[in-house]
Each structure stands twice: as structure tokens, then as C-alpha cells.
Structure 1
Amino acid sequence: MMSPDPKQLISQIPSPFIEDLLEITKTIKEHGGEAYLVGGSVRDLILNKIPHEYDLAVSISPEKMQKIFKRTVPTGIKHGTITVLFQDRSYELTTFRKDEDYIDGRRPETVQFGVSLSEDLKRRDFTMNALALDLLEKKLVDEHFGQEDIRNSLIRTIGNPVSRFTEDGLRPVRAIRFVSTLGFTIHPETAEAIETCRSVTAKVSPERIHDEFLKILKSKNPIGGLDLLKKHKTLELFTKTKLYSEDWEKHKNGFSKLLQASERSKLAYFLASCFSEQTWFSDSTLFFKELRFSNQRTKDSQFLVKTLYALIQQKEELRTSPGLRVHLLHPIAQYAGKKELPDWCLELSLLWSAFLNEEPFWLTSAEQEWKKDPPLLLSDLTIDGNLIREKFPELPAPKLGEVLRSSLLFVLRDPSLNSEELLLDHIRESL
């Protein structure tokens, strides 16, 4: 990879972002300031990627920025950051600063404004993120060999890695995440510092670890980051759960089959691979709670694992239509609704393929089955609780639910039996 031409980099920024960025830069210059595109967006442009967001480093104060731009949000004004809004687009602008007095292993206690761009770039985490692009002068500022490290696919801290990680315990986890998202390798000295600074990483909030963990799962190379999380025992700093069952090595490569899968499927696969089949539910419940996952994410992922294990146990029955209705279509319809059958069946088929390393032989048959719109729920039955009470007044109230479930199972096995007369006969015979 040759040194990039700044003009070429700028030309890669799509409309309307480039117009917004040029307007911001010109406005700041008109008010006697400097502005540079910085950080991950410049790195991504060098890698021929379209950035997800665009951050700028500027020389003027946040208070002045609030005066010269029409729509702003004081996102982190204490640390010099405001967000400038253009319609539905937002840009973070941060005043050149020097961070001082890190105490909690996460944020500087004080920041010093009025410093140079060079001083501002020195405070950043990795060389690949310490690049600045002047959009008006069409110049690329690289004072820490960031381009060279990008060419070599290397993640390296600026300066002493222990010092940088001691300042901010999230940086080691970000380094691990970049292995997954960029496919880069961590420089040996930087990797060694991850181990040295575990006690600082332990100070990071579980919410931030939750975010980084999800980014690793959703990346193009989740195994790279997950292996490093395991190697450095990073997640163990935030959960009492015993992670990585003896089957982890056997199943982890299945992540490569889930690159296009949903977030909940990837989480489910992590649960099935990481915890033993005997204790996965209690272990994952604790893990999700400690890592601050939402109830919905927790329930969705656990439902997928529970259903996957049930399908594996009933493998032979899935070769029949009744088996598919009982063990696959009914549980999904009950949990998510009948409209969701295609999506959830597809997700379970991906999990099956990844976990067992074999094709889901049942998927086509399942699709044919749900297209027939068979009765799958209690609400699909031709009888209900009121009718049963009317026809069988001697039936004890606690048994009503049991009778309804028995009737549904009767119909799941053969949808043609879903008639009032046949179901009532079935109930009579079973009482």
C-alpha cells in the first residue's frame, strides 16, 4: 500500500457528508480556527472503507463553536466536545486538548485546551487513529507512523503501551476489538501491556465492555477477538460465570458461518459454544445480567439456544411434518408470533449449520409446512376454554389448561383433526 494521496482520500467521502464537513471546516477557518478530520474516519479512508462517522479536531473552544453553528448539542463539553447537527446528520467536534490526571482508569480528571494539533494527536490511543486530514489544504498529518502501521495491519499504542492503557482501561479491549473489525494484529509490546493492565481494565463499566463485546461478535472476524478475550481473561473481570466450556475450541470456528446472521443469533451461538449444555441457562442468565444486556436480548438469545438443543435432541422427528410442527414451528409461533416463522427458522438453520457443521435438512420442509398455515397456537383451535367448561362442567378448573394443551398437541400432530366435534371426542376419551 503506497502512501495515500490526500485528494484521493477526500474524494472518497460521499455526499452529503463531504459538503457538511467542508462547510464546518470553512466556518471554523472564517472564525480564525483550524479543523481536521481525525481518528477512525481517516484510518477507514486509507483502508478504502466508507466511514460510519466523521469526527473533527478543532482549535477553537466549545463555547465558541456553540455560537458559530446553528444547531449543536453539548455532548461532552467538559472534555471539549460538541455535536454539530445538519438535518439528520451529526458530527462530533472536539477542541485540541491535552489530557491530564487520569485517576479512575477511564477519563482524565482535567483537560488542557489551547494546545497544538501535535499535542492533541499525542493523547490518542493507537498510531492508526492518530491521523489528521486537512480538507481545505488537502494535507495528511501523520506524526506517529500511523500509515506505516496501517500498511502492516498493526495495532500499536502511541508511546509506552502500559502508560496508555493505565490512562484508560478500555483501550486494551478496543485493541482486541480492532483485531476483529479490521483484521489487524496487535504489536507484541502492546499485547503484553493488555496483560499487565488487567487491573485497570477491571475499572471500566460493564456497559462499555458490553458494547465492545457486541462489536466483536458482529465483526468480520469474531474468532480473532474472542480468542484474545479468552487469552487475556477479559470477560472474567466482569462476570462470576465460568466461561469457555471444554467444547469451546470445537465450536468457536462456527462463528465463520454466522457472519450474515443477526445479533441475537451470534449471541445465542456464543452461549451454546461458551457454556456447558447442562448449565447454560443459569450461566448465561448471570452473564447477561452482569454485562448489562437488555431483557429482550437475553430472552431472544436464550430462546434460540433452548430451541436449538431441542431440535438436536429430536433430530429424527424433524424428518416428519408432525415433528416439525411440534418441535420447531409451535415453539417459534408461541414465542414470537406466526408472522416471525420465516426469520426464526432461518436463524435456527444457521445455528444448526454452525453448531453441528451440517446442513439443516429440515429447513425446506419447514418452509413448505408453515406456508400451509397449520394451527400452531391455542388461539388456532376450534374450541376454547369457555366451550370446554360448557361441555364438561365437572372438569376441575386447574385441569382446563392441561386439556387445552393436550388438544393443541393432538392438532399439531394432525391439523385435519382441528374440528370442534373431533376435539371434544378427544377430550372425552382422555378424561
Structure 2
Amino acid sequence: MIVEKLPTIFQQALPILAKIQAAGFEAYFVGGSVRDLLLGKQPHDVDIATSAYPAEIKSIFPRTVDTGIKHGTVTVLAKSAAYEITTFRTESGYQDFRRPDQVTFVRSLQDDLKRRDLTINALAMDSAGQVIDLFDGLADLRAGIIRAVGIPTERFHEDALRMMRTIRFASQLAFEIEPRTRAAIEQNAELLLKIAVERIHEEWQKLLLGQAVQRGLASFIQTGLYRYCPQMSTCQEPLQKMLTLPVLHFKTVATAWGLFAYLANFSPSKLGDFLKAWKSSNQLIEESREILRALLLMTRRDLKPSELYQFGWPVVWQAGEAANLLGIDLDLNQLHQIYQQLPIKSTKELVINGGILLKNFNLKPGPYLGKILKQLEVEVIEKKVPNHLDSLLARAKQLICSKP
């Protein structure tokens, strides 16, 4: 197969391939960029593999960085971009089920491609657009099949994270996992315990944002991989509930976690502990907890203007997306109109602050000052007091004078 017209991102990299070839070595585009090109997707970057060893690449190009020199990767700095160039290699001795104990640089493209995880990722393309397909990856792309290269068990023993990558691709590409590959995941699912939680979470998040989440989620459950994820071993029921929803599509990971937590009957506190076990960022933890709080109120039809203010529209919108996935008839447009009509959207918009109160009243900095400001903020949101300085000063005076 020949790609007649290469997209700009490949054309810009052609001089790199040409320079390597001029020095007497082979060079190809490989992996995900080739896969995405053939699927009609726009690659974000390109990976280049070569028969030249790292020292030889460094002698060809004047500006390089030893990105992953032990594993054969050198970054070449060109005028318009940086390109990772990796030497063809073989690997052996995966004692930790993640990284090879030994990497051997080779001159054979075939030896390099056969160590890769999936047939759809084991494709190469030369500078003329000729696709090199040694493991029927093109046929699998056309058929929508995800298949391990060679013997699936061997690929998963080399890197157990590949099991999560496989089901992630099922979600992202809406592909079916080939039976032998699926069976190998089921047989080796426990190896996921060997993998860092952060890496598992990264694949899980990509699965949640895929175009066919239910496909990836079904494989996650059926292969038993969920049992070896942090605190997930007892969560088959909420996962199954997610799977049975008529539509399952997430625009944010936090929305997915909020929905999962709702189906699992988690409290916001429980969700926080759960996500800490997943080594989630503090931002994701807090956002997911807020979405769950808002979702719980939505299911009770009890979201007040003051709560819209407290959550902010991004959280309300995400919680509303989750509510709609649950089949809750919620008018997000109406909620947005109510939110837009709030007198203020954040504390920063309040025209009074602690400095103004200190200047106008005989007060000292401390908790009492904060209580006055909070009360004024609440009354502005509830439209009991206009957000005008004179009105707020008058109301502040009343509050201070009424202090026992």
C-alpha cells in the first residue's frame, strides 16, 4: 500500500529521513502516527525508527539530545520541530513485566516491528509513502480488530501495561479485540499488579474518553482487569451499571468518575479516598468530588441558585452531563440561564472586601471579619442586597451593630 499524499506533519519530517538515508541507513515512520494516518486521523507527532545506532545518528545531525539513549532514542533538533529517532532494537528479560532487562540494537526493521504490542501499531512507512506491513496490521485496521503481534501471552509478559492499552484502543477506535488476544488478557490479568498505578490510570483515562467506552469497559470487566486496579476488586456492580446505560460518552474524566461514584453509592469523601488510591491529581480529585455533590443534588431536584454559584458553571455542566447519561430529565439550558442571572459569579466580583470594611468600621482582622464578608456574599447571591458599595456598607453596619 502506498499513501499518495503525505500530510504536512510527515512532509516536514522527510528531510530527517533523507539525511539518515543519505548516510547509508534505513529510516521509517513507525507506530501510532502511521496507524492514525491510515485511519484518517490527524497524528499529533511522528516517530522515526532507523537502522542507525544512536552514536551514528548523533554524528549525522549537529543538534541532538540523548532523550533515552539506553533504549536507543535520540532527539534530533531541526529548525521547525524536534524528532525522536529510535534505533531498531530487540528486547529480552522482562523480570518486572514492564521494562526489558536487556536492549540490543539491530539493523533489521522486521526484528524491531515484531517486538511491538499490536499489529495495528507494528506498521512502518518509508519516505515514499510505502507502508510496510509484516503482521497483517492493514487487514486488522480494515476489519476493526485489535490483535497482539505474534503470541499474545509473550507480548503481555513483556509489558503487562499492554493489556490496558489493548482495551483502551478498543474504546478509542471502536475496534473488537481478537479472541486469542482477549483470552491472553484474561489469563494474565493479575500481572497488572506489577504496573505502577499512574500508568494504569493514564490508560484508564484514555479509555473513558474514547468513542466506544462501553466496548472498552466491557473488556475491562470480562477479562477481570478491574480486579487488579486500585480498590476496584469490589466494584463490578457499579461498572456493570455503567455498561448498561443506553449511551456512554464522556467529555471529561472527572465526569466519568462522578458518574461511577454515584453508581457505586460513594460519598464525596469516599470518592476522594478512592481517587487518592489511583494516584490522581488533587485537581481531578476535587473536581470529581464537586461533580458528585452537584449530581446528588440534581437527582433530588434540589439545586438552588446559591449552589449554582458555589459549584460554578463548569462543575454544574459536567454534573448535568452525568445526569443526562443516567436518564435524568434535566434542562441544562434552564440551569444555565439561572446561573447567568446570578448577581455575581465569584467572590472577586463582590465590590466590597476586608480592606474596605477595616477602613470604614472599627474592626480588627480575624474570623469575625470573614463572617461579615461571607454573609454579604450570600445576601448578594440571594438578591437581598444589591452588589453596590453603599448598599453593602449599610448592610455591613447593620450586621456589626447587631452583634451581641
TM-score (normalizing by structure 1): 0.81
1:380 paired with 2:373, answer: no
**What corresponds to 2:211 in structure 1?**
220
SS of 1:74's partner is strand
Supply the AA of the counterpart residue of 1:363. L
Q: How does 1:119-158 map to 2 (within 5 A)?
A: 119-136=111-128, 138-158=129-149
| 1:405-416 equivalences in 2 (<5 Å) | 405-416=374-385
1:276 maps to: 265
- Gap regions ≥5 residues in structure 1: 333-340
Correspondence for 1:330 among 304, 307, 310: 310
User: 1:23 Cα shift?
Assistant: 0.8
Identity of aligned residues (%): 32
| Displacement after TM superposition at 1:121 (Å) | 1.5
Equivalent residue letter for 2:290: F
Instruction: Give ranges in structure 2 of 5+ residues lacking alignment.
Output: none
Query: Structure 2 counterpart of 1:142, which letter?
Result: D
Helix, strand or coil for the counterpart of 2:284?
Answer: helix
**Would you say the 8 A contact 1:161–1:190 is kept in 2?**
yes
Give the deviation of 1:399 after TM superposition: 5.5
Distance 2:155 2:118 in 1: 9
Do 2:182 and 2:223's aligned partners in 1 also have CA atoms closer than 8 Å?
no
| Alignment CA distance shift 1:226-1:243 (3 Å) | farther
Any idea what the Cα deviations from partners look like across 1:138-174, whole Å, max 9, x if unmatched?
4322221111111211111122111111111011111
Summarize the alignment of residues 27-426 of structure 1 with structure 2, pairs less than 5 Å apart.
27-87=19-79, 89-136=81-128, 138-240=129-231, 244=235, 246-252=237-243, 256=247, 258-259=249-250, 261-273=251-263, 275-277=264-266, 279-282=267-270, 284-313=271-300, 315-316=301-302, 318=303, 323-324=304-305, 326-332=306-312, 341=313, 343-361=314-332, 362-370=334-342, 373-374=343-344, 377=347, 380=350, 382=352, 384=354, 387=357, 401-402=370-371, 404-416=373-385, 419=391, 420-425=393-398
Q: Structure 1's 427 and 45: CA in aligned 2 closer, same or farther, altered over 3 A?
A: same
When the two structures are aligned, how many residues end up with a matched partner?
399
Question: How far has the Cα of 1:188 moved from its partner?
Answer: 0.8
Letter matched to residue 264 of structure 1: A
The answer to whether the aligner puts 1:7 opposite 2:3 as a matched pair is yes
1:241–1:101 distance in 2 versus 1, CA, 3 Å: closer
Distance verdict in 2 for CA 1:68–1:115, change over 3 Å? closer
TM-score (normalizing by structure 2): 0.86
Task: Give the 3-state SS of the residue equivalent to 1:207 in structure 2.
Answer: helix
**Aligned equivalents of 2:262, 2:79: Cα separation in 1:** 43
1:157 touches 1:164 (CA, 8 Å); kept in 2? yes
- Which structure 1 residue ranges, 4+ long, deviate > 6 Å from structure 2? 388-393
Root-mean-square deviation over aligned CA pairs: 3.2
Aligned residues of 1:352 and 1:360 also touching (Cα < 8 A): no
**Partner-residue secondary structure (3-state), 1:108:** coil
Show CA shifts across 1:26-67 (max 9, x none). Answer: 111111101111222222222222222211221110111112
- Aligned residue for 2:385, secondary structure, equals helix
AA aligned opposite 2:394: E
Amino acid at match of 1:276: N
Closer/same/farther in 2, CA of residues 376 and 120 from structure 1, 3 Å limit: closer
Provide the rounded CA distance (Å) in 2 between the counterparts of 1:424 and 1:299: 36
